[in-house]
Chains A and B, each alone.
Chain A
Amino acid sequence: MNPLHQYLLLAAVLFCIGLAGALARRNAIVVLIGIELMLNAANLNFIAFYRFGPNPERMEGLMFALFSIGVAAAEAAVGLALIITVYRHLKSTNLEDLDRLKG
């Protein structure tokens, strides 16, 4: 098995676990955890292609992964702030309860 293949396959497995959880779970925080897992799978792909790609000295995949980690950190902060605000309004983080647009 090609070394690149095994990392891509691991990233695919990780992405699908995150996708299944994000679709199936009802708690907003667990859905956010699933999204983080999918972002990490994408990061693993960047690093695998950087490491085994044709031009590793140009560092494109590495830079992409670093910037993606930064964006994911910002996304987690804003997402959790939104969840806390929703919890203040509705006293619940269950996504099934979020069924109206009026605050």
Chain B
Amino acid sequence: MSTGFIILALITIAGAIGAMNCGRLVHCALSLVASFAGLAGIYLQLNVWFVGVAQILVYVGAVAILIVVALLVTRNAESDRQNEGSKGWIAGGSVALLVFILLAGALSNTAVTGAATLAPDSSVETIGRRMMTLYVIPLEALALLLTAALLGAVVIALGGPKPGRASK
């Protein structure tokens, strides 16, 4: 286990715990950015450059900004530090602990033959050729999904038709 992996894993886990545990919502969003950045570092450390950079662009850039903007738009006076009961944490934490025990048990019982091979060729050119030949249908489906999702997000956030105009 390399030192770089341990540091990045600690950043990721600490960011995730902070994102779930902070009282102020803006601190939650900032901890989330730390967690995403730690994951991007892990991808870069694994020599999967393209996914690491995409992670930084999409998550650290776009999704984090989107969440912060949504936080600021929906901010009201009493939601900044809301009183969250400990009952939810007991229930949620025990379910999560159960899931973790299941996952870790399955992991320790499985003989994974993952050898540390050399970094496979994952240059942008290779990825682009693959995407435009073998994976072109998923790519087009994703393009369609993104267009539909962006239009849908705008329509939902604008609200439905005005009552006067709808009853024409």
Residues on A facing B (Cβ under 8 Å): 1-10, 12-27, 29-30, 32-34, 36-37, 40, 43-44, 47-48, 50-53, 56-57, 59, 62-63, 65-67, 69-78, 80-85, 87-88, 91-94
Say what secondary structure dominates the interface of chain A: helix
Q: Is B145 a contact partner of A16 (Cβ separation < 8 A)?
A: no
Given A24-B93, A48-B46, 11 other A-B residues pairs in contact with their CB atoms under 8 A: A10-B42, A15-B99, A16-B99, A44-B39, A44-B42, A57-B120, A65-B51, A69-B55, A82-B156, A87-B74, A93-B74
Residues from chain A with Cβ under 8 Å of B5 in the complex: 6
Q: Is the CB of B92 within 8 A of A36?
A: no
Residues of A within 8 A of B55 (CB): 43, 69
* Residues from chain A with Cβ under 8 Å of B79 in the complex: 27, 92-94
Q: Please name the residue on chain A nearest to B112 by beta carbon.
A: A4
Number of B residues whose C-beta is below 8 Å from A?
81
Residue on A nearest B98 in the bound complex, by CB:
A16
Are A14 and B13 in contact, with the CB atoms below 8 A? Answer: yes
Name the residue on A nearest B74 (C-beta).
Answer: A87
CB <8 Å contact, A13 and B152: no
- Measured CB to CB, the closest approach of chain A to B158, in angstroms, equals 9
Closest chain-B Cβ to A101's Cβ sits at a distance in Å of 16
Contact of A32 with B67 in the complex, beta carbons under 8 Å: yes
Bound: A13/B91 CA distance, A: 17
Q: Tell me the complex Cα distance, A58–B46, Å.
A: 17
**Which of B19, B36, B100, B122 has a CB less than 8 Å from the CB of A62?**
B122
Using A5-B112, A19-B92 as known contacts, say yes or no to A26 and B84 having CB atoms under 8 A apart.
yes
B7 within 8 A of A: no
Q: Which A residues are in CB contact (< 8 Å) with B47?
A: 51
Q: In the assembly, what is the distance between CA of A37 and CA of B74, in Å?
A: 21
Contacts A5-B107, A30-B20, A73-B63; A51 near B73 (Cβ below 8 A): no
